[in-house]
Amino acid sequence: MSVPQMAQQMAPPVNPWMMETGSIYLWCILVVVTILLTWKNKRLPLVGLCLIAATSSFWQEFFGDWGAYVAWNPAFARLPFWGEMPFTTPVKPLFIPFSWGWWFAVSIPLLVTLVSWLGQKFPKLSINWLSLLIAFPLFLAYQIYVEGSSVANGWWTYDVVIGPGLQTEKGRLPLIFPALLGLWAAYFVAKLAKRETDGFWPHEVKMGIAAKPAGWRRELARIWAMIVLFQVSFFIFNIGSAMLGRALFGGPSLLVP
């Protein structure tokens, strides 16, 4: 189905500014916060590293959407450099890089702080279990809420639902993809809640970053390390699994061919 035909089947989105301009404003605010904290501490903060890593990973959205049969409302402004492409959802909103950036730059550092604090209060509990008990249900609940409200607002729709789902007035919502995102969050938060005594994360130590002298070269290495950790883990947990699931158990789709 072409984008013009799709537009005839989807009503105009409700309050699209929340996703479009709202995401860009929040992203810009976090950029300023990152700059100020970096200038103050001479070191990139977690919020900045997550902002960069998540923003750079936005391309995964459209492949995961194909796997999940997600069709975005064509009324949204679209990326000027990426049109229709095999194994991606047809409509690619312009705000996706910004929405990915601000959401993970806010949610992940907050969860890492909470899990680290609880780890100090309850040292007998492992960080892995704390992350699973905290990050997983919070991400799951939030994603179910977002999926329901977004479908109700006409921001996107599911042409096909794979696996168990929730029945709503606007259609069925899948449960498997929010659950996978929750598992990824638990894994990712656990990785970042285990800081070494010198303030470096285990993945930075393994990559030899901790041995580098302080300065912009080390901070660049920390950026690349976070990008790799984020992109690889996110693709394995969420994107690759969605695409594989559709390939194995899904069928044809009119909205997301």
Residue 197: pLDDT band with limits 50, 70, 90? low
**pLDDT (tens digit, 9 = 90+) per residue, 89-131?**
999 999 999 999 999 999 999 999 999 999 999 999 999 999 9
The Cα–Cα gap between 197 and 191 comes to: 15
Domains of the chain by residue range: 3-249
pLDDT for 150 beyond 80: yes
AA letter at 1: M
- Rounded Cα gap, residues 24 and 121, in angstroms: 37
User: For strand 156-158 and strand 70-72, is the pairing parallel, antiparallel, or unpaired?
Assistant: antiparallel
Which of 58 and 195 is assigned the larger pLDDT? 58
Does the pLDDT of residue 140 top 50, yes or no?
yes
Q: What's the confidence (pLDDT) of residue 10?
A: 78
pLDDT digits (tens, 9 = 90+) for 156-181: 999 998 888 887 666 678 899 999 99
Amino acid at 226: M
3-state secondary structure 213-248: CCCHHHHHHHHHHHHHHHHHHHHHHHHHHHHHHHHH
Label residue 4 by pLDDT band (50, 70, 90): very low
Report the pLDDT value the prediction gives residue 2, as an integer from 0 to 100.
53
* pTM higher than the cut 0.85: yes
Count of C-beta atoms within a 10 Å radius of residue 247: 11
pLDDT value, residue 111: 97
